[in-house]
Amino acid sequence: MKKITIGLLGFGTVGCGVASILINNRYDINTRTNTDLSIKKALVRNLLKERPYCEGIQLSDNPDDIIKDPDIDIVVEVMGGIEPARSLILAALNNGKNVVTANKDLLAVHGYELFATAEENGRDLYFEASVAGGVPIISAIRQSFTANKISSLIGIINGTTNYILSAMTDQGRDFSDVLLEAQEMGYAEADPTSDVEGLDAARKLAILSSLAFNTRVTFNDVFSEGISKVSPADIKYAEELGCVIKLLAIAKNQDDGIEARVHPALLPKEHPLATVNGVYNAIFVVGDAVGETMFYGKGAGSLPTGSAVVSDIVEIVRNMTAGSEGSLNCNCYRNYPIKSADSFTTGYYIRLKVKDEPRVFATLALFFAEAGISFNSIIQKPRSNKNAEIVLVTHPCKEGQLRQALDSLNSYSKLDKIYNVIRLETNEI
Amino acid sequence: MKKITIGLLGFGTVGCGVASILINNRYDINTRTNTDLSIKKALVRNLLKERPYCEGIQLSDNPDDIIKDPDIDIVVEVMGGIEPARSLILAALNNGKNVVTANKDLLAVHGYELFATAEENGRDLYFEASVAGGVPIISAIRQSFTANKISSLIGIINGTTNYILSAMTDQGRDFSDVLLEAQEMGYAEADPTSDVEGLDAARKLAILSSLAFNTRVTFNDVFSEGISKVSPADIKYAEELGCVIKLLAIAKNQDDGIEARVHPALLPKEHPLATVNGVYNAIFVVGDAVGETMFYGKGAGSLPTGSAVVSDIVEIVRNMTAGSEGSLNCNCYRNYPIKSADSFTTGYYIRLKVKDEPRVFATLALFFAEAGISFNSIIQKPRSNKNAEIVLVTHPCKEGQLRQALDSLNSYSKLDKIYNVIRLETNEI
């Protein structure tokens, strides 16, 4: 059996998951790959910290011990963050190592440079764990769907926000209340900005849409809006409208370019993504040959992410055995323009409060008519005070049209308040 | 660009799908693989029949024209059936061709021989299209989940029965009525036995469980029971119990062996498979590292199945470029025993009619108690005549225990009729 040696950059949650899988499933993994796989070294910050699954692994706080070790065939970067991860991966590739990374932050910004370096060196750079750990969506797009032109993908790819929205939906609780609980349970970080504002999902969407459309999409190309303004009232109205509210990551390949956006959206209950709850992730992909497909699983966690890292290691081992490393790297042979937010066409849910007087509804209907927007549904409930809460759901329109209607509304003396404006995702059903 | 030449054995629905994808997405597929892929010849029964997408393809009714053509690198078997498909695939492999097949009937029975022949010849034998066409479940198990010990998989892998059960559920219609409609719409064959009796799903389950557990499971090892006895009344009671009725294909790796069974089952509505309706397929897989995952898509049809065939062709092309054909074939390095039906442990739903008299319920409860079976739920509705319809749902028990209780019931003078006995699938939630 050929011996394959691995070096870890980082030995935190994911590194530990990788080590435990390689120990616990050693017989199966070695038999399946016909190789003897083991971790030789791991880069850590604190050499003295107690850690599980580190028996037989040399710990070091000097990255050179790993990326320059001639014994090491595969470097696994699970430290996260941009630097020093970027420099270390580049150095490892330049030193002839194959690399596995779980680092979405890095790939979403510096992916191009990393893949170019891998290609120059004829090495593999694999990254299944960077998006939705337990869901093998990267290999599905890169390998299983090679026959297809992918027209769109919609993902629930941030577990924190999906956990929060699921709990708000099930229990009718407030955003801030559930966020606090999620932080206590370790589902949300102390600074939750990246998850809650959709930035984490935007990074993952940049990676997925580059792969799906064979064109370069980076973090800055993705429009993103978070979930902090979603209220239990919105969720209840959505329910009445036959929808759930999810933080969706949506990418579409359209005639005028690539649309890539992350935002909360009303999604019809019949959509396969609508029942994806809690910390689960799922990605709904539409290809011209395969039709509608969906992939579902855990998005994070030591073992699911470790499973993705080890599947990448195994792929690289197979390539090493065949001598075919470097054959499946960046494949951005298209150069599509990226659409800006004002050209997105979606339906909108608008919840507002107006004076409950004659002519008021007619006037606000006129504002939308003047902007060329028509309605899909309207909810107005009887109220006891002098204000009426109204929910308007529009047919798809351009963001510019909506802004015109909202501007008219905002300058209208009978308007009390616009509570919220949330997009609707219905096209793909 | 390297030229890769394909020969088709069969040019029906799937062959046509393959040809159309290779024409319509030619630029993308060739760029992604850096090769020039084309179909040179196709084996057909009727040379004179008009067919779309056959331009530039030489039609022949002599298989030797394809399997002995030295230009042809990859033979794609999409003719179906056991013979002559088996002999032709063996001959193609022995002639040094790589092979893609969509033939579940053949693989579920003769898989071992075919893979052994591929291995002897150092050739690839790929078969993504043999199970759930649009769902890349084969590569998910073989590649994405290599890090895992898979403990179970549950699939909805027969579109015909899922269409029938979905329509019965949505519209409250009878089995035979919906079957007729499905036949008219082309969703069910003139002789529906293979689909309706669960044989088709059993063949696919044999393939999936061999891969998932690395042990040999063939069609004869799979217990199967069809859906023809499921009635609208059962579906309605299931609904009351918070369940749907689906034809499930279930495989579990247990301490005492492999359990592989296909049968209708009550499945709780919260299960991710419960919302898989119509002709869609889905497979729910549990691995020790990755946790619960699900893959969803179209199970059949010209283009979804064609997409799977072309993804296999592309994988083989990548292997050919690397010179690594024959590295990912049969991997049955385990030799687990196969469990027989009497050792299955499941819950049961039993719908029966008894005389509505004192002591009757106590007596039948005693029959179950004597067999060591306890109840999960009981439904008895007020009736106008002298008989009472009762639904009993048991906690998991062995099939032998259930048989004992049913024997006692059957010899009980107050029993009017046992309408139906259906298993319950709840363990995996």
AA letter at A145: F
User: Can you list the domains of chain A with their CATH numbers?
Assistant: 2-133+302-322 (3.40.50.720), 144-298 (3.30.360.10), 341-424 (3.30.70.260)
Measure Cα distances from B57 to A98, B16, B64 in Å.
41, 11, 16
Placement of tokens 């061709």 in the chain: B97
Q: Which residue of B has its CA nearest to A284?
A: B296
Nearest to B205 by CA among B167, B261, B122, B245: B261
* pLDDT digit string, tens, across residues B401-422: 999 999 999 999 999 999 999 9
Query: Looking at chain A, which residue has its C-alpha nearest residue B300?
Result: A290
On chain A, the residues whose CB falls within 8 A of the CB of B314 are 143, 146-147
pLDDT digits (tens, 9 = 90+) for B194-226: 999 999 999 999 999 999 999 999 999 999 999
pLDDT confidence of residue B255: 95
**Contact (CB<8Å) A298/B291:** yes
Tell whether A151 lies on the interface with B, counting CB pairs under 8 A: no
Strand, helix or coil for residue A268 = strand
Mutate to test the interface with A, among B21, B307, B328 (most CBs of A within 10 A): B307
Asked whether the beta carbons of residue A289 and residue B144 sit closer than 8 angstroms, the reply is no
Taking residue B418's Cβ as centre, other Cβ atoms within 10 Å add up to 14
- B304/A290 Cβ within 8 A: yes
Q: Is A62 exposed, middle or buried (0-12, 13-18, 19+ CB in 10 A)?
A: exposed
What is the rounded distance in angstroms from the CA atom of residue A60 to the CA atom of residue A37? 20
Residue B325 has pLDDT above 90, yes or no: no
The answer to whether A306 faces chain B, any CB pair under 8 Å, is yes
Q: Nearest by CB to B295, which of A147, A289, A295?
A: A295
Residue B148 — very low, low, confident or very high, per pLDDT cuts 50/70/90? very high
Label residues B262-291 b or e (16+ Cβ within 10 Å = b). Answer: bbbbbbbeebbbbbbbebbbbbbbbbbbbb
Minimal CA–CA distance to B183: which of B164, B205, B210, B198? B164
Pairing mode of beta strands B345-355, B243-254: unpaired
Q: To 10 degrees, the CA torsion angle through A106, A108, A113, A118?
A: 80
Which of B25, B140, B323 faces A322 most closely, judged by CB atoms? B323
How far does the CA of residue A368 sit from the closest CA of chain B (Å)? 37
CB-based contact (8 Å) between B27 and chain A?
A: no
DSSP A342-399: GG-EEEEEEEEEEE--TTHHHHHHHHHHHTT--EEEEEE---SSSEEEEEEEEPSEEH
Q: With an 8 Å Cβ cutoff, are B307 and A327 in contact? A: no
Dihedral of alpha carbons A303, A305, A310, A311, sign: positive
Contact in structure between A285 and A138 (CB atoms under 8 Å):
no
Q: Is the peptide bond before B52 cis (omega within 30 degrees of 0)?
A: no
Count of CB atoms situated within 10 Å of the CB of B64? 12
Q: Which residues of A touch B315 (CB under 8 A)?
A: 143
State the nearest Cα–Cα gap between B148 and chain A, in angstroms.
7
H helix intervals, B101-231: 104-120, 137-139, 159-171, 175-184, 193-196, 199-213
Look-up of token digits 């303004």: A229
- C-alpha B80/C-alpha B82 separation (Å) is 7
Minimal Cα distance from A293: which residue of B? B297
* Residue B428, pLDDT score: 39
**Do residues B346 and B425 make contact, with C-beta atoms less than 8 angstroms apart?**
yes
Closest CA to A429 of A271, A283, A243: A271
Q: What token pair was written down for B153? A: 């998989």
Average pLDDT over residues B112-140: 95
pLDDT band, residue B328 (cuts 50/70/90) = confident
Decide: residue A411, CB within 10 A, 0-12 exposed, 13-18 middle, 19+ buried: exposed
A257: left (phi over 0), alpha (psi -120 to 50) or beta: left
Extended strands (E) in B231-358 = 243-254, 257-268, 280-287, 291-298, 345-355
How far is the C-alpha of A285 from the C-alpha of B75, rounded, in Å? Answer: 29
**Which B residues in the span 100-119 are in contact with A, Cβ-Cβ below 8 Å?**
none
Contacts of A294 in chain B (CB under 8 A): 282, 294-297
Distance separating alpha carbons of residues B128 and A356, to the nearest angstrom = 61
Of the candidates A223, A158, A148, the one whose C-alpha atom is nearest the C-alpha of residue A193 is A158
pTM: 0.95
Contact A292/B289, CB-based, under 8 Å? no
Q: Which of B100, B108, B136 is nearest to B282 (CA)?
A: B136
Cβ atoms of residues A172 and A74 within 8 Å: no
pLDDT on residue B383: 72
Residue B179 has φ and ψ, to the nearest 5°, of -60, -45
Residues 367-426 of A with CB under 8 A from B: none
Q: Per-residue pLDDT for B330 more than 80? A: no
- Strands A223-224 and A257-268, bridge-based pairing: parallel
The residue of chain A nearest to residue B135, with distances taken between CA atoms, is: A293
In Å, what is the CA distance from B174 to each residue of B178, B184, B366, B420? 6, 16, 34, 15
- CA nearest to B349, candidates B242, B179, B234, B219: B234
What's the pLDDT score for residue A384? 65
Q: Looking at the complex, does the CB of residue A170 fall below 8 Å from at least one CB of chain B?
A: no
CB pairs under 8 A between A and B: 187
Question: Is some CB atom of chain A closer than 8 A to the CB atom of B335?
Answer: no
C-alpha to C-alpha distances, A100 to A88, A107, B298, nearest whole angstrom: 12, 12, 32
Query: Which of left, alpha, beta for B230 (phi over 0: left; psi -120 to 50: alpha)?
Result: beta
CA A101: distance to chain centroid? 16
Q: What are phi and psi of A271, to 5 degrees?
A: -70, 135
Is B322 part of the contact surface with chain A (CB cutoff 8 Å)?
yes
Establish if B290 touches chain A: CB-CB under 8 angstroms: yes
**B306 at the A interface (CB within 8 A)?**
yes
Provide the residue count of chain B: 429
**pLDDT mean across residues, chain B:** 94
Number of residues that make up chain A: 429
B93 near B118, Cβ under 8 Å? Answer: yes
Q: Does the distance separating the beta carbons of B294 and A303 come in below 8 Å?
A: no
Selected catalytic residue, list B204, B246, B252, B298: B204
Task: Inform me whether the pLDDT recorded for B285 exceeds 90.
Answer: yes
Instruction: Answer yes or no: do B319 and A322 touch at CB < 8 A.
Output: yes
Task: Name which of A235-239, B82-86, B310-314, B381-385 the model is least confident about.
Answer: B381-385
List chain A residues with CB under 8 Å of B149. 25, 28
In angstroms, what is the C-alpha Rg of chain B?
A: 24
End-to-end CA distance of chain B: 50
Radius of gyration, CA atoms only, chain A: 24
Q: Is the Cβ of B143 closer than 8 Å to some Cβ of chain A?
A: yes
Taking contacts as CB-CB distances below 8 angstroms, the residues of chain A near B140 are 136, 140
Task: Tell which wins on pLDDT, B159 or A328.
Answer: B159
Predicted pLDDT of residue A327: 78
The tens place of each residue's pLDDT in chain A, 429 residues long, gives 899 999 999 999 999 999 999 999 999 999 999 999 999 999 999 999 988 888 899 999 999 999 999 999 999 999 999 999 999 999 999 999 999 999 999 999 999 999 999 999 999 999 999 999 999 999 999 999 999 999 999 999 999 999 999 999 999 999 999 999 999 998 899 999 999 999 999 999 999 999 999 999 999 999 999 999 999 999 999 999 999 999 999 999 999 999 999 999 999 998 999 999 999 999 999 999 999 999 999 998 999 999 999 999 999 998 998 888 887 766 889 999 999 998 999 999 999 999 988 889 999 999 999 999 999 999 998 776 788 899 999 999 999 999 999 999 999 999 999 999 999 998 633
Residue from B402, B429, B425 nearest B247 by CA: B425
Closest to A200 (Cα-Cα) out of A166, A228, A160, A169 = A160
Q: How far apart are CA B414 and CA B364, in angstroms?
A: 9
Contacts of A304 in chain B (CB under 8 A): 289-291
The nearest CA of chain B is from the CA of A25 a distance in Å of 7
**pLDDT value, residue B50:** 87
With CB atoms and an 8 Å threshold, state whether A140 touches B140. Answer: yes
The verdict on A148 touching B (C-beta cutoff 8 Å) is yes
Residue A84: is the preceding peptide bond cis (ω within 30°)?
A: yes
Active site residues of A: 204
What are the chain B neighbours of A307 within 8 Å (beta carbons)? 145, 147-148, 287, 289-290
